[in-house]
Structure 1
């Protein structure tokens, strides 16, 4: 049960983090380059270096968010289990 709950929690954190991360990357790209983030990597007018740079940055941020979400969910579950175990011990 806890494994399922932990996976659901990690998924929720990752989805929410992905939304925030997407906005972060888009805003950061606009501030760093002065123009909008690439939307279509198949656009022939988009320089290859720019498309690859955006892809690498986006993938890196996505990976960081996924790892942080999974670790955060694991930490939250351990704290919840410890708190639950204490309350059960106090009732016995």
Structure 2
């Protein structure tokens, strides 16, 4: 017995199945060596400039406080040197 070969004509719209290729997973499992970008370090001159600036600020602050203390001392000395009669005149 011989098999008969049939020609089947199909409508492409009815049987159109879109074949999507499966997404392949990358085989990289992240076991590589991690490389960090080097951080820019402060240069020696920059650090020295920062220290010098800090010293100047401290000197200015100390100068201001010294001036205030000197003024208070001068006022105290002047009030001590005044006689009781002069103190009454000022008040």
Q: TM-score w.r.t. structure 2 length?
A: 0.41
Give the structure, 1 or 2, with the largest relative contact order (CA under 8 Å, sep 6 or more). Answer: 1
Greater Rg, structure 1 or structure 2?
Answer: 2
Q: TM-score w.r.t. structure 1 length?
A: 0.41
Structure with a larger share of its residues in helix: 1
